[in-house]
A and B are shown apart, each in its own frame.
Chain A
Amino acid sequence: MFTVRNALAAVAAALTLTACDPQQGPESQDPAQSPSSAIADAAQDAVNRGSTGKLDPLFDQAAGEFNVPADLLKAISFAETRWQMVRGEQEFEGMPAAFGVMALRGEALERGAALAGVSAEAVRTDALANIRAAAALLSAHADELKVDRADLGAWAPAVARLSGIENTDAQAEHVHKGVYATLRDGVVAEDADGKVIAAIMPTPVEAKFALPSLHALAAGPDYAGSIWRASPNYNARPAGTDIWMIVIHTCEGNYSGCWSWLTNSAAGASAHYVVNESGSEISQLVAESNRAWHVAASYSCSLNGSVNCGQNGVSVNHFSVGIEHGGFASQTSFPAGQIDASARLSCDISRDRGVVRDSYHIVAHGRLQPNNRTDPGPNWPWSSYISKVQSYCGTTTTGLIIDSNNANNDTTKGYIEVSANWASSTNVGGYYGSGYYVAPTQAVSDPATFWFHMPAAGTKTIDAWWTAATDRSTAAPFIITNASGTKLATVNVNQQANGGKWNALGTWSFPAGWNKVQVSRWAPTGFQVVADAVRVR
């Protein structure tokens, strides 16, 4: 495992503390404050790769051997793979799989291997061979482009050529916002013991390369937080098609190369959206109302004038929205910023298109197979992803639910408190969550308390859920008390009826803070009162 942090902060820490604990460094106090923390944050999780050894000596060796700047090699590698040894897969027809910390692919991988005098297999599997092949290739590009090797900014055209990206705007994005931004900001990756795996110290350098054109910066038609980069690779959804699914893909390459390829008509493939590695940028390529070719879209589709795509059968493309993500399926983890940005996007799509926010409707590309060895994707954080989508959008269950089992509660928002006289039960079916609390009625102050937190004052309706049975109280008291301790109401309910569903108790105004709903045992004796779940909406 290793972590990435901002280089400036690391330097500051190193200057003041010779043996500083990374946990105590100033950068760890509030990384969001750091101007370049987006990269560090994006990479924080993505680089948690157990077996990656020290990379700096390998970069230095290859840089010296082929007379290329070591920091440039490192920055290219960081932009491509976040310094991970990737085993790419072919995500798009016509785009060969990428390998190693430099993400070399196809003919470039073969040529680099030949230039470095190693086998293509070694370039795919061995970090040093991979870096040497990329360095040799970069050096060859520098010769072809007559780069002044002493001028770091002058290497930019060679960086663009090494990327394999054809679209000039995408080249500019990759060079300026990817590789050279990394050089300017610097970045440090450390292993669990705090030893440096790879480091780039900040360098004030500008790429001598055309800036991205500004015309592309209009927002996408369906998502205000996106940049519209229209792809020609789409067609109309069949008439009357509802959108049912959101399909999650990984680009098997970097963000700029991904949207660049998917906006190229030669690709014969597309997606509705591409999310970059740090989550700081999203491109929309196809309007959601149109059918993108992100699932098994092949050359034959576009070569046939796109007329037969999906006309002779049901295609997942018909009823889905596809989101690509800069990165690789073989990553051991994904950057938190990318997951977060993607979840916000999925929330927006699901809200606009009426897609159910669950793991049957928001699925991995691999899950479209009947079974997948790595289903649902080895390292995409599925459960937290769906939870994030729900937390941004809400579930169809509106409001906050406090269950009688605190394992099911987010106790920062709500929890239950009971005395030992309340028994946990699953004896009568129809309970909410994993069971309920029950206690015999008695003239005693021994309530079950559902606490719920209001971040701001507001008017809320309180619902209660119980299991109904013949031994229940017909006058079970629910006491509503606000955060300042004022009792707002007591509502008596008949728990012999209306079990297994939400029952409204009433609507009250609550102040900010911890308010509570209590189920009292103080009712005519000889019965049971049930505390199962409370909803605040």
Chain B
Amino acid sequence: MSQGLEPRRPWRGWARLCAALALLGAGCPASKCGRGAAGPGPLSEEERRAIPGVIAFISERATQKDVWLVKPAGEETQLTKSPEEDDFTSAPAPDGKALLVIATRTVDGLHLEQLRLQPLDGSAPVPLNAPRARARNASWSPDGQWFVAESDAQSFSDLVKIDPKAGMAEQRLTSVREGCFEPDVSPDGREIAFVSSREGDPEIYVMRSDGTDERRITAFHQEDREPRWSPDGKWLTFISNREGRDRYFLVRPDGTQLRAVSGGATKLDERQLVWSPDSQKVAFVERLSDGKSRIWVARVEGGEPVALTDGKSRDDEPAWSPDGKYLVFVAERNGDTDLWLMRADGSGQTRLTTAKGADWLPRWFVPR
């Protein structure tokens, strides 16, 4: 950690500059965002065919929840097929050949969860742990040799390292009575950011990926949760209710340069932040009244965020395309919950899935 001298740069001038920028209209007036400013849409067939990758999502078109894949042009295939279970999309494997899914079922009145590696070729999934009450929030190492997840196998909630093969033992990384949660592996695979409630409230910590050399990143008597590395490893984001609502903050991995992501643009609870692949932007959702929500994008370098959707429906769960030029999101429009596509500036909003029943929790990646 830097022991450097305090800069003589007056902070207040910087704040004034930001405020002036906000007044000049950097950002999107509420009345002109999203559909209203979408320009000619929806996206053309030609444009959609040129968008890379595939999107895994949960579909409730059957009674149970299954994982499906959809290409940006709209071609859908069902990936998991287990009528007795609900399957939830988790993290895609770095090699692009498989997806982690969480399969849940109720046995003798018990809710049980199992992490599985589901190959994209549709072959049988590989179970990675014995079914238990909670097995979730997996995060991969960049080389795909291991991932970390929450486990209640030996305690309320600790972090374990798991090799993505059947029958492998878990390596326990933490041992905290009050629990550790929401691990996120750094892009270089050397560190893990996570949450622990050991101080009586959730704080953000970073440790080496072998569980040693832990350091505390946040200190505040309310909730700091959901750490996420930027893809270049230079920032962490986390969500905190320290200002009386849930909002996202940026902080350097050494605990310096903490600031709110959304400046003065949002007023209500924020959720579901995702980093753009180039680490320049984050997309997130602001929860509005009456069950509606809107999607915003903020530049990490600063300035006011821009609203991509108009807040007239529930728009949720954004995910970036691998090239960062598009976002997929979940929208509750026309009476159904579906995946929608849009350009990264909010234009060209296009309904992607149309099956009756909710489609949600998208994960966008490049299959290989």
Q: Which residues of A contact B (CB under 8 A)?
A: 50, 242, 244, 293, 295-298, 300-301, 304, 308-310, 312-316, 319, 332, 356-361, 368-371, 373, 378-379, 383, 386-387, 395-397, 401, 403, 407-408, 420, 423-435, 438, 465, 469-471, 500, 528
Looking at the assembled complex, report how far the CB atom of A421 sits from the nearest CB atom of chain B, in whole angstroms: 9
Mostly, the B contact residues are: loop
How far apart sit A81 and B201, CA to CA, in the bound complex (Å)? Answer: 35
Say whether B109 contacts A298, CB under 8 Å: yes
Interface residue from B6, B200, B219, B225 paired with A431 (Cβ < 8 Å) = B219
Interface residue from A300, A304, A360 paired with B181 (Cβ < 8 Å) = A360
Say whether B197 contacts A50, CB under 8 Å: no
Q: Which 5 pairs from chain A and chain B are nearest by CB?
A: A396-B200, A429-B255, A301-B109, A298-B109, A397-B221
Contact status of A313 and B225, CB under 8 A, knowing A356-B197, A371-B88: no
Say whether B241 contacts A387, CB under 8 Å: yes
User: Which residues between 81 and 126 of chain B lie within 8 Å of chain A, taking CB atoms?
Assistant: 86, 88-90, 102, 104, 106-113
B202 CB within 8 Å of chain A: yes
Query: Which of B37-45, B72-80, B130-138 forms part of the interface with chain A?
Result: B130-138
Contact status of A428 and B257, CB under 8 A, knowing A313-B131, A383-B246: no
Looking at the assembled complex, report how far the CB atom of A432 sits from the nearest CB atom of chain B, in whole angstroms: 5
Looking at the assembled complex, report how far the CB atom of B32 sits from the nearest CB atom of chain A, in whole angstroms: 23
Say whether B133 contacts A359, CB under 8 Å: no
Say whether B360 contacts A300, CB under 8 Å: no
In this complex, how many residues of chain B approach chain A with their Cβ under 8 Å: the count is 74
Residue of B nearest to A407 (CB): B243
Provide the residues of chain B in CB contact with A401, threshold 8 Å: 221
Contact status of A427 and B358, CB under 8 A, knowing A301-B108, A301-B109: no
Interface flags, B41-66, vs A, CB<8A=1, else 0: 00000000000000000100000000
How far apart sit A479 and B200, CA to CA, in the bound complex (Å)? Answer: 30
User: Which residues between 3 and 52 of chain B lie within 8 Å of chain A, taking CB atoms?
Assistant: 3-7, 9-12, 15
Interface residue from B12, B89, B109, B202 paired with A293 (Cβ < 8 Å) = B109
How far apart sit A242 and B4, CA to CA, in the bound complex (Å)? Answer: 46
Q: Which residues of B contact A (CB under 8 A)?
A: 1-7, 9-12, 15, 58, 86, 88-90, 102, 104, 106-113, 131-134, 136, 152, 156-157, 178-179, 181, 195, 197, 199-202, 216-217, 219-223, 225, 241-246, 249, 252, 254-260, 269, 290-291, 337, 358, 360-361
Provide the residues of chain A in CB contact with B108, threshold 8 Å: 298, 300-301, 304, 308-309, 312-313
Say whether B10 contacts A427, CB under 8 Å: no
Provide the residues of chain A in CB contact with B157, threshold 8 Å: 360
How far apart sit A433 and B219, CA to CA, in the bound complex (Å)? Answer: 6
Say whether A434 contacts B6, CB under 8 Å: no
Contact status of A396 and B112, CB under 8 A, knowing A408-B242, A426-B257: no
Provide the residues of chain A in CB contact with B252, threshold 8 Å: 429
Looking at the assembled complex, report how far the CB atom of B215 sits from the nearest CB atom of chain A, in whole angstroms: 9
Contact status of A379 and B221, CB under 8 A, knowing A309-B108, A314-B152, A395-B200: no
How far apart sit A301 and B110, CA to CA, in the bound complex (Å)? Answer: 9
Looking at the assembled complex, report how far the CB atom of A380 sits from the nearest CB atom of chain B, in whole angstroms: 12
**New contact pairs (5) apart from A438-B6, A469-B6, CB-CB < 8 Å:** A293-B109, A360-B157, A360-B179, A361-B178, A397-B221
Contact status of A370 and B102, CB under 8 A, knowing A314-B133, A432-B219: yes
Say whether A423 contacts B6, CB under 8 Å: yes
Residue of A nearest to B89 (CB): A371
Say whether A370 contacts B113, CB under 8 Å: yes
Contact status of A426 and B199, CB under 8 A, knowing A308-B108, A397-B221, A432-B219: no
Contact status of A313 and B107, CB under 8 A, knowing A396-B200, A434-B258: yes
Say whether A430 contacts B255, CB under 8 Å: yes
Say whether B106 contacts A371, CB under 8 Å: no
Contact status of A370 and B3, CB under 8 A, knowing A244-B156, A314-B132, A426-B257: no
Looking at the assembled complex, report how far the CB atom of A189 sits from the nearest CB atom of chain B, in whole angstroms: 17
Interface residue from A300, A316, A469 paired with B111 (Cβ < 8 Å) = A316
Can you name 27 A-B residue pairings with CB atoms under 8 Å?
Answer: A298-B106, A298-B108, A298-B109, A300-B108, A304-B108, A358-B197, A358-B202, A361-B178, A361-B179, A370-B104, A371-B89, A373-B360, A383-B246, A387-B222, A397-B199, A397-B200, A403-B220, A425-B6, A427-B257, A428-B256, A429-B254, A430-B1, A434-B242, A434-B249, A434-B258, A435-B258, A471-B5
Contact status of A428 and B111, CB under 8 A, knowing A313-B132, A379-B291, A396-B201: no
Interface centre among B58, B110, B260 (most CB of A within 10 A): B110
Looking at the assembled complex, report how far the CB atom of A356 sits from the nearest CB atom of chain B, in whole angstroms: 5
How far apart sit A426 and B15, CA to CA, in the bound complex (Å)? Answer: 14
Looking at the assembled complex, report how far the CB atom of B163 sits from the nearest CB atom of chain A, in whole angstroms: 21
Provide the residues of chain A in CB contact with B245, threshold 8 Å: 383
Interface residue from B5, B90, B113 paired with A469 (Cβ < 8 Å) = B5
Provide the residues of chain B in CB contact with A425, threshold 8 Å: 6-7, 11
Provide the residues of chain B in CB contact with A304, threshold 8 Å: 108
Provide the residues of chain A in CB contact with B202, threshold 8 Å: 358-360
Interface residue from A300, A313, A423, A424 paired with B133 (Cβ < 8 Å) = A313
Contact status of A395 and B10, CB under 8 A, knowing A373-B337, A426-B258: no
How far apart sit A429 and B219, CA to CA, in the bound complex (Å)? Answer: 10
How far apart sit A316 and B106, CA to CA, in the bound complex (Å)? Answer: 12
Provide the residues of chain B in CB contact with A50, threshold 8 Å: 290
Say whether B361 contacts A371, CB under 8 Å: yes
Contact status of A429 and B256, CB under 8 A, knowing A371-B88, A469-B3: yes
Looking at the assembled complex, report how far the CB atom of B162 sits from the nearest CB atom of chain A, in whole angstroms: 15
Residue of B nearest to A298 (CB): B109
How far apart sit A316 and B133, CA to CA, in the bound complex (Å)? Answer: 7
Residue of B nearest to A420 (CB): B12
Residue of A nearest to B220 (CB): A433
Contact status of A315 and B88, CB under 8 A, knowing A383-B241, A428-B4: no
Residue of B nearest to A496 (CB): B3
Residue of B nearest to A308 (CB): B108
Interface residue from B156, B200, B255, B260 paired with A319 (Cβ < 8 Å) = B156
Provide the residues of chain A in CB contact with B258, threshold 8 Å: 426, 431, 434-435
Contact status of A332 and B291, CB under 8 A, knowing A428-B256, A434-B249: yes
Looking at the assembled complex, report how far the CB atom of B310 sits from the nearest CB atom of chain A, in whole angstroms: 17
Provide the residues of chain A in CB contact with B337, threshold 8 Å: 373
Residue of B nearest to A434 (CB): B258
Residue of B nearest to A355 (CB): B178
Say whether A296 contacts B109, CB under 8 Å: yes
How far apart sit A160 and B216, CA to CA, in the bound complex (Å)? Answer: 58
Provide the residues of chain A in CB contact with B254, threshold 8 Å: 429
How far apart sit A144 and B106, CA to CA, in the bound complex (Å)? Answer: 42
Interface centre among B108, B113, B249 (most CB of A within 10 A): B108
Provide the residues of chain A in CB contact with B2, threshold 8 Å: 427-429
How far apart sit A300 and B106, CA to CA, in the bound complex (Å)? Answer: 11
Contact status of A408 and B223, CB under 8 A, knowing A358-B197, A397-B200: no
How far apart sit A407 and B7, CA to CA, in the bound complex (Å)? Answer: 23
Interface residue from A357, A387, A423 paired with B10 (Cβ < 8 Å) = A423
How far apart sit A310 and B15, CA to CA, in the bound complex (Å)? Answer: 57
How far apart sit A387 and B241, CA to CA, in the bound complex (Å)? Answer: 9
How far apart sit A522 and B97, CA to CA, in the bound complex (Å)? Answer: 64
Contact status of A395 and B109, CB under 8 A, knowing A370-B104, A371-B361, A428-B3: no
Provide the residues of chain B in CB contact with A308, threshold 8 Å: 108
Residue of B nearest to A315 (CB): B110
